[in-house]
Structure 1
Amino acid sequence: MKLKVCVFFIIVFLSCKKEASTSSSLLNHIPQNASILIKINDYDLFISDLKNNAFIKEYQQTPHYSESFKYLKLLSYIKPGKESIISFIEVGKGKLDYLFKTKSSSTLLNLKDIKNKTVEELTYENYSFTKATIEDQLAYIYKDTEYTFISSSQLLIENLIRTKELPDTDLKLKKLYDSSGKSNSAVLFFNTKYCKELTSSLKETNHFDLSEFSDWISLDAIVKQNEFKLTGISICNEGSHSKFASLFSNVSPVLNKTQFYAPINAQYIISYTFKNFENYYKNQQKYLEALPKKDTTFQAVQELGIIGVSNEKVVLIQTFDATHLVDILNQNSNETINYQGNEILKLIDVNFLAPFKAILPNFKTNYATIVEEVIIFSENLAPLQNTISNYKNEATFNKSEIYSSAKTSIADESNILFISSPEGIANFREHELKEDISKQIGALDFSNQIVIGQLVSDKGFFHSSIILKKITEKTESNLTAPLYTVQLDHNIATEPQFVKNYLTKKKEIIVQDVKNILYLISTEGKVVWKKQLEGKIKGEIIQVDLYKNGRLQFAFTTDNQFLIIDRNGTIVKPFNLTFDSAELNSLSVFDYDNNRNYRFIITDKSKISMFDNSGKLVEGFKFKDTGKTITKAPKHFRFNKKDYITFPEEDGTLRILNRVGTDRIIVKEKIDFSDNEIYNYKNNFTLTDTKGILYQVNEKGAIEKSNLKLTKDHGFDATTNTLAVMNENTLMLKGKKIELELGLYAKPKIFYNNDKLYVSVTDLQNQKIYLFDSNLNPIQNFPVFGNSSIDLEDMDNDKKLEFVAKDQENSIIVYRIN
C-alpha cells in the first residue's frame, strides 16, 4: 500500500460529493459492472458532513471538482427520505456515469423549483422518462411503481427499462451490503475489477491498478470537520493468491515500530509486519507464481519498514534474531564506513532483500547499518546517514506532530501501516498525477494534512482504513533533527553557507571542495550545479544585486581572482579579474547608502583597489600604499552618520580611513592583533590582542582596554550590543559564562533570527555543535553532530530555523529546529 495508493484513494473519495445508496432490494437494477457504489443511510447528514469538512470545502472550489463532478448537479436538489444508493459505471471510455436510486416520494425532487432548466419527456419501449438540463448538465429521471432513478446516462436508463429479468446480485456485494452498518451517514463499496477509470488521473508511468489490491472493498464514511475517514473491510476471492492483500492471509500482525527509527522529517513511512513470517513467505511465492520455497535467512523477521527520506528510500527490518543476519551481512561486505560512531557496511549482494520482492520491488541493498536490533538498508549513502543522525539525536518520526496526530486514529498492530506527511502528499501530486490534474488541484493546501492507511488481517478478510486528517497535535518546540546530508565529489574546503534564491525567496547552500569545485545546493538538498574554479574562495561569498532588479549574484575572491557569478554559475562580465599576486584577502563589499551602488574592495598585500558596479576602479578612492601588508579584509562601519573603513596592518597598526581612503582616525598604539575580526560594539571599534585584552577605540582614537585574561587562541564575535567570547572551553555572553566539555572550539557565531538572538560554537575535536539562546540556555537536543561552524537561517520560510555545517570530510548536513 504505497503512498500513491493512499493519496489516490483520498482524491477519489473526496470527489464523490453527493452520492447515495440503499437496503438490499436497492441493489436490484444496479449494473453489475459498477465500479463504486455508495449507500447513503442519511442523505441530509451525509451532505452536512461534507459541507462541514474543511478539506472537502476547499476541494470543491478547485477546477478539478467543477470539471469532474458538475454532472452531479441535479443530485444537489433531491431530498430522499429513505436510504439511497448511487453507483458509478464506465459507459463511455474514460467517463464514469452515475445511476442514483431511492424510494419515490412527493418531496424527493420538484423540478418546478429549479431555475435555469429545460425539461423534456422521452419515451422508450412505451415507458416515459424525463430529460432535464440544469445549468448545461443533462440528467435522466425514471420512476417505476416504487423507486426513482436518476442518471447522467440515457443509455443506463434505457438498459434499466429494457431489462425484464434482473441478474443475480454479486453474492460478495450482497453480503457486504447486508452486513454494513447504519450508524454512519454513508458506506462505499468498490468492485475493484471495474475500477480502472479511477486511476486515470495518474501518469502512465504509474502502474498502480486497484484491481490488484483485492476483489471487494467496503468502507464506512466517517466525516468530521478535520478528518475524512473510510474504514471497513477488504475481501479476496477464496483460494485466490493474485491480490496484494492476499499476501497477509493468515499472517498475524505485530506492533509497528518503523516510526521509532524513521527520521522525524520522513516524507512517509510504510510498515509491514508478520508475526509468522513463514506464512507470509508462502503467500508471496503463490502471489509471484513462483515455486514453493522455504526461507531460512529471514525467518525471524517481524517487520519490514520503508521510509521516504529526501525522495529516496531507506528500508529497515526488525528481527528477534539480529545476530544471525548481522553475521551474513558482515560476510557480504567488502568495505566499511564509519558515520557518527555507526559502522556502515557496503554490500556486495545488492539484492539481499529479494525475499521481500512483492512488497519491496526494485530496491538495491548497497549499504546497511545496525541500530539496536534493527538493520537499516539504503541504495545511496546520504539517506542512511540522515536516518542514523536523526536516531542519534532522538529526532524520530514517533515524536513528530504527524505521527502524534495519526496515532489517535490507528490500531497499534497492523500488517500494513502507511503514514504520509504533507510533503509526501505534495510530492505525490507533483510526480505521480498527470500535469493537468495537478494544476487543477494546485490550490489545495496540503501543508497541514496527513494521509493514513492501515490493513489488519483477520479470518477470511482484512480490516482496512484510509484517512485524510488535519494535523492536530503539536510536538515539543526546539526539537532539532537532521534534514538531509549531501555528499560532494571531494573533501570540503570552505564552510557551507546559506545564500538566497531570488526566485523562490528561500535559502540554498553554497560550498567549495578541495578541488576548487563550487556547488550550489537547493533548499531540498539537490545539487543545482557545480562550477570548476581556479582557486580556493577566501572568506564568505557575498550576494549582490548588480543591476538593481532583484536578481542576486555571488561575489568573492580566490588567492588571485575577483569573481562575480550569477545564479546559473556563469561569470558576470567584466568581473573575472586576475591579479599578479596570489595573496588576496577575502572580498569586502560596501553599500554605503543601501542603494546597491556597491564598492568592491580588493586587498593585495599592502594595496587596496576599489571597484564599482561596472567593474571599473573608483577614481575618487585615494588610498596610498604604505608597503605594510594588510592582514584582514577591510570592514565598513557607520557611527553618527560618518563612514569608517578599518583594517589591521602587519606592524600592529589599526587603520581607520574615510570613504576616499585617507586616514580619518589615527590610532597611535600598536596592537598585537589576535586572529579575530574588528567589530562595531557599542559604537566603538572593538578587537582583541593575542594576550586576551579587549580594545575599544572611539571616534577620537582614544583606547579603552579590558583584560579578559583570554588565551592566544580565543575566539569572539560581536553585534552592536552583544559580545560573545570563546576561551578554551568557556563561553561568555552578556556577562554570563558556561563551561563546556574540554575540546578544540571554533570561534563563536552570533545569529539574530525571528527576533531572537542565538550564539553557536563548535567543538571540532569532538565534532559537536552547540547552540544557546541570549541567556546562554542550551537549545533543546544540542549538542548535535557536526564538523564546522554553522550558518543559521529560516531556510524555507516556515518560521522554523535550519542550520548547515560540515558533516563528514566530503559531506554537509542540514538540521531543522522544529
Structure 2
Amino acid sequence: MPSQTVLVFEVGECEECLQSIRGTALLTALTESIFQGYRKAQLTKLISNFLEPKNSPVISLHVVKKDDFDFIFYAPLSKSNQIELQLKELEGEAKKFSQREFNGVQIKELPIDDKLFSWVAIDGIWVGSFTPFLVEDVIRTYKSDRSLIFKNDIREVALLPTVKNDAGNIYINLKEFSNWLTVFSDNQSTLTTVGQGAVLDIKQRQGNLTLNGFSIANNEDQNMLLSSLKQQTPVPFMLKSLISNRSVLVTSFGISDGSELFKNIELSRRKDIQDSIQSFSNVDLESIFSGLGKEIVTCYLESGGQSMARVVLFSSSNSKEWLKSFDLLSKASEKGDSLYIERFSSYEIRQIEINNLPEKLFKPLVNGFRQIYYTNIDNTILFSDRVDELRKFLDDIDKEEVWGKSVYYNQFLESTLLESNYSIYINTPRALAAVSNSLNTKWNKVYSSTNRSYFNAIGLGAIQFSHLNENFYTNIAWSFNPQSDVGRNEPQEIRDRLQVNLDYAIASKPFVVRNHASKRDEYVLQDSLFVLHYFSTDGKRQWKKEIQSKLVGTVVQIDYLNNNKLQLFLVTAGKIHVIDRLGNYVNPFPVSVPQQNIEFVSVIDYDNSKKYRFLISEKTGKLWMYDQEGRNLEGWKPRNVEGPLVTAPSHHRIRGKDFILAVRQDGWAYLMNRRGENIKGFPLNLDMRPGGTYFLEQGNTLAASNFVIVSKDGVKVKFNVEGTISSREPLIRTSVDDQFSLIAENNNRFYVIARQNAKELTLLNENGKAILVNEFVGKNQVDIQYYSFGSGNDYIVVSDKIQDLSYVYDGTGRLLTPIPLESTGITLKQENQKVSAIYVNDKTLTILPL
C-alpha cells in the first residue's frame, strides 16, 4: 500500500455485523455521496463484491485530485474468483478489454460505463481501482525498497491489538486524513494534524455507530495536537453546562496539569511571543498556566454571512490572575480615546486588540482571532472575536439553553467517553448546513443532489481521545435515526394534526410561548370577544382572560421579576398588560396609557438586565417609551418623528453603544439614543420608499455596521450609524410592476428579498439568487415569514391575506403544503428537533408537524 494512503478498511468476517452497519443512516448518507458516480447497476454489483466478507477484502482511500478521491480494492488472489467472474460478464457485453505493461507487471483494463477499471495480480494479491494511476502506485510501491509504504507510516498502530470477528478494522494515517478533508473545500489551507495514526474497530448498537481503538502521536512533532497532551490525564466534560444549544461543533481539551501543558505548546518555545506579551502586562506566563484547567473549549456557531462564529471558554483555578493579565492587555492595546467596557446582564465585557492573541497563548489548541472580547463566569473565562456573538452566547447561558440542561444532548453525551483529553462534538445536520456554502463546486453539487433526509437522519457525533499509558484510547460515536425513517418524504398524515375548537372566532394569530417550568412550547391567542386563551403543548386550555380590547402587535415573553420565570407582555388600545403563566396580572398591571391609535409595540432590554422599556408607536409617528412600572420616560413624551413608520422601531447595540432606529414610510431614517435624541447625521433621507422591514449587518466598528433596507421599486440601500449611505444597489427587475420588500429571519441573522408582480412572487437570498417562486398569490397582499432553526432547517411561509391561504416552503424552495393551509394567522416553531406549523382559521387552532 502506497505511503500516501489516507486510511485502510479491513473488512471483518462477521456478515451480521456488516449488515447492521449497512442499514444505518450514516452509512447510507456516505455511500449516497461518495459512490454517487457508481450508481449504475453494473458498477453497483461490482462494488458489492469488494465488500463481501467471504472475499476477505481490504479497501484503501486515496486523494487523486485537489477536489476528489478514490479507492483501491484488495483481495487474496485465491478469493477473487467472484470478482473475476463479474468482470468477465461485463467484458461479454461488447466492451473492449485491454492489457498493458507497467514496470514489468501486466495491467488489465475494462471500460465500464464512463469509467475505466484497472486490475492486477501481484504476489498472490488481487488489486483493482477505477483510477488507473492508483494501480500504478501499487506496482511502483511493490517494486521499490518498501521504505515508503503505508504500514511504515503507522507501524506503531499496526502492532496494536484489534477485536476479532467484528465488522472490521480501520487503520488511519491521521496526517493524510487532515489533507483529505481539504478535498471538500475551496479553502486549501492545511488543517492541524491530530496525531500520527489510529486503528479502530467498528460496532453498531441502539441507534449509535461506534468506532473505538487507539491512536498514537509522534513525540518529536509538537505541532500534533495529541503531542501537546502527552502528560495529561483524562478529565470530565464539565463545561457542558455553559455550551449553547446553538453550537454546531465543539472542541474540548481536557487539561489536568497546566504547567505540563505550557511545556508542550508553542508558547514555551517562542521567547519572542513571551517577551511581547510580558511587555504589555508583565505577567509570568508559566505561573498563570499552572492554574489552567480542567478544560479549554471552542464552540463554533452558525452566524450571518459565510463565516462561523467562535466562542472559547477555559476554566482555571487562578482565574483572577488571568483576568488581571487580560485587563492589562486590554488597556495596553486600546486604540481609541476610551477603554472598551460594556455591561451586559450581570457580565462585564472588555476588548483586547492584539492580533491572534489566543493563538499565541494556546497554539495548537486554539487558532486565529484578530481581536477578542472577553468576560468571565466564576472561574471560567469566555472570549470571542465578535461581541454580538458573545452577547448571544451569554444570553443562551442565562436562559439555560445549554447542553447541560438539554435532555437531547445529555442522552447522547452519556453514550460517549465521560472523561477525555480531546473531544470533538458535532451536531451533524447543523454542521453540514453551516459548511455547505464553503464546499467546492463538486461537493456542493453532491451534497445538494443527495437526498437531504439521509443527512438529516444523522444526529450528534463525538470523536474522543483519552490518554492511556503511551497511547490515546479513541472513541468515535455517531447517533442516527432508524433506517425505516430515512428518506421518508410523504406528506404528514392528517391524524398527526392536533386541533382545538373555540366557541368564538379567533381574531389574532397564534403566539408560541415557552413554559419556564417544563421548557415546553405553549400557545396564546385572542378570540373575537377579546378573550385571551392560553393552551398547553397538547392543546388543553389552561386559562382564559378577558382584556376588553383587541391585541396590538405581538405577545412577548419577558422575565419581569428577574427570577427566571416568564410572563406575557401585550398591549391593547390604552393599556399595557403583564400576565403570569397562571393568567394573573403582575403588579402594577394593567397600566393605563393615553395612546389609543397604536400601530407598533417594541420591548427593549438594553443590556439584558431585565430592566425593560416599552416603546409604543402611534400611526402618526409619535413614539412613547415607558419603564417597567408604566412611567413615561423623559425624551419620549412623545418623541415625534412626524410621519407614519414602515415597521416597528427597534433597539440595536453596536460596539457597546445603544441605538434606536425608526424608519418612516417616506424613507426618512431616525437613529436615536436612549433619551430619544438624534444621533449625529440623522435624520437621514434615504431617497426611497421602503418595502418590508430592515436588517442590521453588524461589523466590528461603527462605520462597518450597516443597516440594509430595500425600496419598493427595487433598490437595496445600506447606511451606517454615522449617517453615511454606504451603497445603493439596483435589484434585477423582471416586470414593470415589480414590487420589492425585505423580510428578516425570525432571529434577525439573515434576510430575504421578495419580488412580487401580477404573475408571481419570487423570494431572493441576500445575493439575489432565487429561492422559491409562488405563482398563486399574484399581487394580493401577502405576509411573508422567514424561519431558520439551524441544521439547514430553513422555512418560509407565504400567507395570502386576501384569500386567507398559507403556503409553507423549506429553505430550498420545496413546497411542503401542496394543498395550502386555510389560515387567518400562522407561525412556525421547533421543539425537540421537530418543526410544526401552528395556525388558526375561524374557531379552530391547528398544530401540524411538518
* TM-score, L = length of structure 1: 0.54
Q: Output one character per residue of 1:585-607: Cα deviation in whole Å (capped at 9) or x when no partner.
A: xxxxxxxxx998789xxxxxxxx
Change (3 A) 1:101 1:301: same
Match of 2:313 in 1: 316
Match of 1:245 in 2: 226
Q: Output one character per residue of 1:534-565: Cα deviation in whole Å (capped at 9) or x when no partner.
A: 9xxxxxxxxxxxx999978599xxxxxxxxxx
Change (3 A) 1:127 1:342: closer
Code of the residue aligned with 2:127 in structure 1: it is F
Q: Give the superposition deviation at 1:73.
A: 6.0
Percent identical among aligned pairs is 14
Match of 2:74 in 1: 100
Code of the residue aligned with 1:338 in structure 2: it is R
Match of 2:251 in 1: 270
Give me the whole-angstrom Cα distance separating, in 1, the residues matched to 2:169 and 2:441: 31
Question: Does 2:334 match 1:298?
Answer: no
Q: How is 1:291-690 mapped onto 2 (pairs within 5 angstroms)?
A: 295-302=286-293, 303-311=295-303, 312-330=309-327, 332=330, 334-347=339-352, 353=358, 354-364=360-370, 366-422=372-428, 424-442=430-448, 443-445=451-453, 446-448=455-457, 449-470=459-480, 477-478=519-520, 511-512=649-650, 514-517=660-663, 520-521=694-695, 529-530=708-709
Question: Does 2:179 match 1:208?
Answer: no
SS in 1 for 2:47: helix
CA contact (8 A) 2:70 2:130 kept: no
Give me the whole-angstrom Cα distance separating, in 2, the residues matched to 1:335 and 1:523: 21
Give me the whole-angstrom Cα distance separating, in 2, the residues matched to 1:389 and 1:159: 55
* Residue in structure 2 matching 1:198, options 153, 157, 180: 180
Question: Does 2:828 match 1:794?
Answer: yes
Match of 1:7 in 2: none
Give me the whole-angstrom Cα distance separating, in 2, the residues matched to 1:388 and 1:159: 53
SS in 1 for 2:183: coil
430-439 or 194-203, larger mean C-alpha shift: 194-203
Change (3 A) 1:365 1:256: farther
Change (3 A) 1:520 1:290: same
Give me the whole-angstrom Cα distance separating, in 1, the residues matched to 2:199 and 2:827: 48
Change (3 A) 1:476 1:86: farther
CA contact (8 A) 1:345 1:368 kept: yes
Match of 2:59 in 1: 86
Q: Give the superposition deviation at 1:318.
A: 0.8
Change (3 A) 1:402 1:202: farther
Q: Output one character per residue of 1:260-294: Cα deviation in whole Å (capped at 9) or x when no partner.
A: 11222223322222111111121112797667965
Code of the residue aligned with 2:171 in structure 1: it is F
SS in 2 for 1:42: coil
Change (3 A) 1:271 1:80: closer
Q: How is 1:689-728 mapped onto 2 (pairs within 5 angstroms)?
A: none
Q: Output one character per residue of 1:598-619: Cα deviation in whole Å (capped at 9) or x when no partner.
A: 89xxxxxxxxxxxxxxxxxxxx
Q: Give the superposition deviation at 1:43.
A: 7.0
* TM-score, L = length of structure 2: 0.52
Give me the whole-angstrom Cα distance separating, in 2, the residues matched to 1:146 and 1:273: 47
* Residue in structure 1 matching 2:266, options 285, 290, 294: 285
Change (3 A) 1:275 1:86: same
Match of 1:67 in 2: 37
308-317 or 78-87, larger mean C-alpha shift: 78-87
Code of the residue aligned with 2:37 in structure 1: it is E
Gaps of 5+ in 1: 1-29, 497-507, 535-546, 556-565, 573-593, 600-635, 637-753, 758-790, 803-818
CA contact (8 A) 1:139 1:150 kept: yes
Give me the whole-angstrom Cα distance separating, in 2, the residues matched to 1:69 and 1:241: 44
CA contact (8 A) 2:738 2:756 kept: no
Give me the whole-angstrom Cα distance separating, in 2, the residues matched to 1:533 and 1:121: 64
Code of the residue aligned with 2:197 in structure 1: it is W
Give me the whole-angstrom Cα distance separating, in 2, the residues matched to 1:234 and 1:530: 53
Match of 1:42 in 2: 13
Q: Give the superposition deviation at 1:137.
A: 3.8
Code of the residue aligned with 1:410 in structure 2: it is T
Question: Does 2:217 match 1:236?
Answer: yes
SS in 2 for 1:516: strand
Q: Give the superposition deviation at 1:52.
A: 0.6
CA contact (8 A) 2:9 2:171 kept: yes
Give RMSD over aligned pairs.
5.2
SS in 2 for 1:295: helix
Give me the whole-angstrom Cα distance separating, in 1, the residues matched to 2:130 and 2:426: 35
SS in 2 for 1:176: helix
CA contact (8 A) 2:267 2:361 kept: no
Change (3 A) 1:378 1:431: same
Code of the residue aligned with 2:117 in structure 1: it is A
* Residue in structure 2 matching 1:256, options 197, 220, 237: 237
Give me the whole-angstrom Cα distance separating, in 1, the residues matched to 2:213 and 2:738: 55
Code of the residue aligned with 2:286 in structure 1: it is D
CA contact (8 A) 2:56 2:79 kept: no
CA contact (8 A) 2:262 2:289 kept: no
Q: Give the superposition deviation at 1:437.
A: 0.8
Code of the residue aligned with 1:31 in structure 2: it is P
Q: Give the superposition deviation at 1:141.
A: 4.1
CA contact (8 A) 2:38 2:44 kept: no
Code of the residue aligned with 2:452 in structure 1: it is L
Question: Does 2:170 match 1:182?
Answer: no
SS in 2 for 1:426: helix
Match of 2:543 in 1: none
Instruction: Return the index of the structure with the highest Cα Rg.
Output: 1
Gaps of 5+ in 2: 275-284, 304-308, 332-338, 483-516, 523-556, 559-602, 618-645, 652-659, 664-668, 670-692, 700-704, 711-716, 720-734, 744-750, 758-776, 783-800, 802-820, 839-850
Give me the whole-angstrom Cα distance separating, in 1, the residues matched to 2:707 and 2:419: 42
